[in-house]
Amino acid sequence: MKIRAGFRPRLQVPVSLGDRSYDIIIQEDLLQEAGSCLQQAGLSGRVGVVTNPQIGKLYGRQLSQSLKKAGFPSTVIVIPEGEQAKTLKWASKILDELVTGRFERNDLLLALGGGVIGDITGFAASIYLRGMPFVQMATTLIAQVDSSVGGKTGVNHPLGKNLIGSFYQPRLVLMDTATLRTLPKREWIAGLAEVIKYGMIADRSFFEYLERHMDAILRMETEPIQFLIKRCCEIKASVVGSDERESGLRRILNYGHTIGHALESLGKYKKLIHGEAVGIGMVHEAALSYNLEYCSEEVVHRQRALVRRAGLPDQLPSLKISDLWGAMQHDKKVVKGQVYCVFPKDIGQVAVLPLARTSVTAWYRSSKRGKGNAPPGRGLHESS
């Protein structure tokens, strides 16, 4: 098929949540069509665009122009860059701007940025006048495959990440794949860990697609990137659609995160960025799964090979097993003192099962014996 010059294929994913359903639109150079997308979604009023200085400088003008062209007056609300701005204090500053700017309940709040901007903006939208419409323009890979879909919004507390928040669905999610090209390489690669996660938890053929197309993905070719974003959104939308408030199935999205979160917190959030920790977490949760005889060695090897090809780290940093276990106790998936972990049973299939300290110790010893965290040999498994 010959593609017309200037023609940009548009992919769309519906998120079905009854009267809170919305669409995700994925397109190269979508930013310049943002205003008309809002119109087509039946939205109206003034738009408060929340962003940070870095992203605002790159994309703020283009977005404001597109909004203006479609008849939406807009005001830009800037908060500082980074996770340290995801606080109640900065959420409150956003609310100050809304109050002093006399924003009304039918006006809009639009998040222009990654997961940090999306989470805090959604949270502010959920509490201003008891809820105002909210739109996401996701500009990082993590935001496009994960954080902008599902309706979890919130801010951090000094004592822990994401402790304050609400479930609040956006009215529309826009993803301009061209914005990914300005992402720092490390952020881009870290996002690929979450992409591999979707293949592992729900779709073997998607995992195999990633195995076949990893080179083109790393070259940032438009077609595979659009496809992978669409597939990740479809999987997340279907999981969230059947378990909006994380009482059951949604927990499978935490694959790689039991060990991943523990590594992030042991490194005081300075050594590894989130996706990197999840990549290492998936490699070692699969090894644990193999050690517990839940999956074959092939699962461990294929996943590890893909993680490596994506350029993600796969080695467990040197740490004490007691520290790792201690950090795992603080995980959100701990229920009444019992740690739960998402274990792969095959590629594309997982189970959420309790995890005992003895299993972790056995896996850890065998992985040390295998040198360099190689997939462990069985036999050291101590029953729980």
> Residues in the site for ligand NAD, rule: CB under 6 A?
52, 54-55, 58, 81-83, 86, 113-117, 119, 139-140, 142-143, 146-147, 150, 152, 161-162, 179, 182-183, 187
At closest approach, how far in Å is the CB of 354 from ligand NAD? Answer: 24
* Dihedral sign (CA 103, 106, 107, 111): positive
From the list 178, 169, 239, 196, the residue with the least C-alpha distance to 18 is: 169
* Cβ contacts of 49 within 8 Å, gap of 6 or more: 60, 63, 64, 67, 74, 75, 76, 77, 110, 112
Q: Which of the following is catalytic: 33, 93, 230, 254?
A: 254
330 is catalytic: no
Q: Counting Cβ atoms within 10 Å, is residue 235 exposed (0-12), middle (13-18) or buried (19+)?
A: buried
Q: Cβ of residue 227: shortest distance to ligand NAD, in angstroms?
A: 19
Catalytic choice (171, 197, 274, 284): 274
| Structure tokens belonging to residue 281 | 């977490």
Known catalytic residue at 221: no
Q: From the CB of 25, what's the least distance to ligand NAD, in Å?
A: 17
C-beta of 43 vs 79, nearer to ligand NAD: 79
Least separation in angstroms between residue 195's CB and ligand NAD is 13
Cβ closest to ligand NAD, residue 180 vs residue 362 = 180
Q: Catalytic residue at 261?
A: yes
How would you label 367-380 residue by residue, b for 16+ Cβ within 10 Å and e otherwise? beeeeebebbeeeb
Nearer to ligand NAD, 269 or 325 (CB): 269
The residue (of 135 and 299) whose beta carbon lies closer to ligand NAD is 135
Active site annotation includes 52? no
In sequence order, what are the residues at sequence separation of 6 or more whose Cβ sits closer than 8 angstroms to the Cβ of residue 353? 294, 340, 341, 343
Burial (CB count <10 Å: 0-12, 13-18, 19+), residue 102: exposed
What minimum distance in Å lies between the beta carbon of 68 and ligand NAD? 21
CB-wise, 121 or 367, nearer to ligand NAD?
A: 121
Whether 274 is catalytic: yes
Choosing from 171, 197, 231, 261, which is the catalytic residue?
A: 261
Residue nearest to ligand NAD (CB): 115
**Residue of 28, 33, 194, 276 marked catalytic:** 194
257 in active site: yes
CB 152 to ligand NAD: min, Å = 4
Give the orientation angle of helix 321-328 with respect to helix 257-266, to 10 degrees. 110
Cα separation values, 293 from 39, 255, 339, Å: 53, 17, 18
Active site residue 250: yes
| Annotated catalytic residue 10 | no
Nearer to ligand NAD, 140 or 366 (CB): 140
Catalytic residue among 86, 171, 231, 257: 257
For the CA atoms of the chain, what is the radius of gyration? 21
> What's phi and psi for 107, nearest 5 deg?
-75, 180
Q: Where do we find the tokens 């809009």?
A: 108
Closest CA to 288 of 376, 347, 379: 376
Exactly one of 231, 236, 304, 333 is catalytic; which is it?
236
Judged by beta carbon, residue 114 or residue 199, the one nearer ligand NAD is 114
Percent helix, strand and coil across the chain, each to the nearest 5: 50, 20, 30
Q: Which of 4, 89, 102, 130 is catalytic?
A: 130
Catalytically active residues are: 130, 152, 194, 236, 246, 250, 254, 257, 261, 274
